[in-house]
């Protein structure tokens, strides 16, 4: 599986799908602001860690995949769930990177210039996210190959 940018996905999206993402993200950010004003920035920051557009994106990814399969004459429910699951795995791995980002920033801001702290935190995020993706990808691909072999054996049993 390659990480790539698909610009044609923008063309396939409907205008209201962008509105859903924008509104959901805005509501999450506004809620975090209200919580921060009421309970302080430390608690408000926890709410900003909520993946603002992920829930909307996951459902849209699933519906896009279903639509593509339906156009090809297939059901697409399983494929839609698989693709949304892969996206969720990427979000979880990115969240681990963000934890590293937050930890480095929190520990370094008091002793280094802000620009340097941000650079160190960004590098930490990139390294953790890239390493996590590669570890997951290796395990995922091995599992997929094993499942395919099992299906082949059940379809064509050995004599």
Task: Write out pLDDT tens, residues 54-86.
Answer: 777 777 777 777 777 878 887 878 777 888 888
Which pLDDT belongs to residue 116? Answer: 96
pLDDT at 152 over 60: no
Helices (H), 40-76: 41-48, 54-71
88: confidence class by pLDDT, cuts 50, 70, 90: confident
Which pLDDT belongs to residue 118? Answer: 95
Residue pLDDT, tens place only, 18-52: 788 788 878 888 888 898 899 888 787 777 766 66
Cβ count within 10 A of residue 57:
20
């Amino acid at each position: 599986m390659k990480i790539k940018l698909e610009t044609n996905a923008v063309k396939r999206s409907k205008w209201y799908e962008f509105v859903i993402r924008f509104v959901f993200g805005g509501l999450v950010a506004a809620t975090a602001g209200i919580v921060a004003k009421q309970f302080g920035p430390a608690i408000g920051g926890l709410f900003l860690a909520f993946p603002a557009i992920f829930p909307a994106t996951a459902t849209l990814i699933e519906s896009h995949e279903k639509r593509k399969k339906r156009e090809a004459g297939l059901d697409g429910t399983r494929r839609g769930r698989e693709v949304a699951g892969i996206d969720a795995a990427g979000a979880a791995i990115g969240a681990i990177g963000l934890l590293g980002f937050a930890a480095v920033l929190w520990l370094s801001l008091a002793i280094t210039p802000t620009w340097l702290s941000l650079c160190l935190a960004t590098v930490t995020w990139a390294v953790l996210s890239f390493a996590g993706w590669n570890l997951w990808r290796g395990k995922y691909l091995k599992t997929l190959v094993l499942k395919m072999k099992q299906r082949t054996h059940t379809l064509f049993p050995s004599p």
